[in-house]
Homo-oligomer: A and B are copies of this chain.
């Protein structure tokens, strides 16, 4: 049987129209669920669509509608699991829609960063973009999006933008909880390993630490802080500095898990047992946190939920207003925290 007139290629709206004896526009109405449509007509067309296995051409739609259905994901590889979890959440939000997710890794240290992102937006003309930390903290990128008329949502450790353009976590507060947890376990001398200078996540976490230390009246002092940059090696070095001090802290909060793993190594090199002689708390709940020894207490962002919400803000303007912009992180207690040695 003649499936389509021109036997080659995928069936088009014309094939459907001809075979169901209606006009293209009517088929288009069926596709787009126009309310003013005779039920009989609709069913007839839907049947032909099913028989033919017709699927609308997204490029043609994009051209006619003057907007496409691609969501861009811009990131500079914060950590692999975060990016993947985020992708999962976005996919969850756009499942069974015509949207697709286009990834765009960038290099935040490249001088061409803005040009790179501009080129991406101009070339692909995404429906909107989602921006992950740490590049999300760069206001110039948001400004570029606005100039190009590209909608965007940023993910970050604090409110960097209007709620419509943000999904944020409460880093400051949750780090406070982590410090409280350590204090309740008996620690009064707690060290901090900070994140890299210029990262909002780093300053938020440090602020949460400082506020909690002050609030709880814990030991304070510059010798209890060491600068890190979110890498394992920096955690190793910073941990060494903290652990070689006298008196040394009985607990350390590292601003991410990689650095916490570095601290763990530093402790082991010195024969300091965790958690007996040193308690340790990380941040991110990466795979490493659960799989090192001892399993590490850490903080987890609800990344999938944040991603889902971020995608909805972009895709579904009506639902967007209902979406929260603040998401609460959780402290995940594991075995790296114990009362300090007597």
| Residue positions of A touching B, CB distance < 8 A | 9, 53, 55, 57-60, 62-63, 66, 68, 70, 77, 80-81, 83-84, 87-88, 91, 98, 100-105, 122-125, 232, 258, 261-262, 264-265, 268, 286-288, 290-293
Whether A261 and B84, one on each chain, are in contact in the complex, defined by CB atoms closer than 8 angstroms, is no
Whether B125 and A103, one on each chain, are in contact in the complex, defined by CB atoms closer than 8 angstroms, is no
Copies of the protein in its oligomer: 2
CA distance A335 to B77 in the complex (A): 28
Q: Given A59-B59, A287-B258, is A103 in contact with B87 using a C-beta cutoff of 8 Å?
A: yes
Q: List 17 A-B contacts (CB under 8 A).
A: A55-B123, A57-B125, A58-B123, A58-B125, A59-B68, A70-B100, A77-B84, A77-B88, A87-B105, A91-B103, A100-B124, A103-B103, A232-B290, A232-B291, A268-B293, A286-B287, A287-B287
Residues on B with beta carbons closer than 8 Å to the beta carbon of A102 = 70, 100-103
When the two chains form the complex, which single residue of B9, B60, B87, B104 contacts A63, counting CB atoms closer than 8 Å? B60
Closest B residue, CB atoms, query A65: B59
Whether B293 and A292, one on each chain, are in contact in the complex, defined by CB atoms closer than 8 angstroms, is yes
Main secondary structure of the interface of A (DSSP, over half): helix
Residues on B with beta carbons closer than 8 Å to the beta carbon of A83 = 80, 84
CA distance A290 to B293 in the complex (A): 14
| Shortest Cβ-Cβ A-B pairs, 8 listed | A80-B80, A59-B62, A261-B291, A80-B84, A80-B81, A55-B122, A59-B63, A100-B102
